[in-house]
Homo-oligomer: A and B are copies of this chain.
Amino acid sequence: MEEEKILLSHGSGGKLSYQLIRDLFLSNFENNFLNRLDDGAILKFKDLNIAYSTDSYTVDPLFFQGGNIGDLAVHGTVNDLAMCGACPLYLTCAFIIEEGLPKKILEKIVFSMKEASENAGVKIVTGDTKVVNKGAADKIFINTSGIGIVKKGINISGRNARIGDIIITNGSIGDHGITILSEREGLEFKTSLQSDTAPLASLVADMLEVSDKVHVLRDPTRGGLSTTLNEIADSSGVEIEIDEDKIPIKEGVRAACEILGYDPLYLANEGKLIAFVSPEDSEKILKKMKNHQFGKESKVIGRVVQKSKGRVYLNTKIGGKRIVDMLTGEQLPRIC
């Protein structure tokens, strides 16, 4: 029998990632924090609720239109905390560097992290640096973990989607995925595209300020919008419906996807969120989002229709309806 190996798809954020997490990590590390499968854990200390999250960043190339591995590493963890409804406060930062990396590359990355953390209102409070022999890593990998405070009464989780919930996104999807792909392949249309990498904590704070009926928040990174919606449908046991003609996709992204054969629904985003909110508050939440610099293009893209085993349907532009599954296989390794 052939030995089973770890594949790129185990890190895609799609179906195989989900299986690996369930079969290996959850079964061994089992505890109530991990079992929620949210972007971070919520820890309780007396009357204090702390959100806690981690992510490693291995993006290739290190620098791309709209950002680099440094600000991505800050924004990514800030966003994971924000998706727990937390106000992010402190980050850790751990570098694994390949011997021979030009020092000025590291300096540029660190400077971006400084700026990104200042903009996001977080402090990098502790860190670690490992250097490995040439060839044992590709240039630089960064891990950030972060902690933030969840205010009393806030309970946001992928398990909380309810029938009738309105699904909102804060803007166009696929920008990050197509930008990285274009940079990597040296494609022509790259000039018109840039990554959407951005810190979303203050947008989330605005949303929570006007409503206590935000049920789910998730950032559709690896695996894209489709995978994220499937995870939520699965965790909450609901059926979700999204409308193809409502989903904002930039012309350049759409064109690149057509040429290259990618589906924007599966492309990674680094400055987007998906919110499930009560219908009675959806209008005021949407209005508040549109007033935020990272929410100007916010739109309702779908709704929760009924209880189910976790299905996501797309109402197509031509009037059809099709099931949208989690990402299977791997579209773009090292996208973040």
- Spell out A's residues near B (CB within 8 Å): 3-12, 17, 20-21, 24-25, 28-29, 31, 33-34, 40-41, 43, 45-46, 48, 50, 52-58, 60, 89-90, 92-104, 106-107, 110-111, 113-114, 117, 123-133, 135-138, 141, 143, 145, 147, 149, 333-334
Contact = CB atoms under 8 A, between A and B. Distances in A.
Given A52-B90, A96-B56, A143-B94, A334 B29 contact: no
B56 A125 contact: no
A29 to B, nearest CB: 4
B103 A5 contact: yes
Contacts of A114: 28-29
B34 A127 contact: yes
Contacts of A128: 54-56, 143
A323 B101 CA distance: 33
A111 B28 contact: yes
Contacts of A143: 54, 56, 94, 128, 143, 145
B54 A131 contact: no
27 contacts: A3-B104, A4-B104, A5-B103, A6-B99, A6-B101, A7-B99, A7-B131, A8-B131, A11-B130, A21-B129, A25-B93, A25-B110, A28-B114, A29-B110, A29-B117, A29-B124, A29-B127, A34-B126, A41-B90, A41-B126, A52-B90, A52-B125, A52-B126, A58-B130, A130-B334, A135-B138, A136-B138
B102 A56 contact: no
Contact of A132 (B89, B111, B334): B334
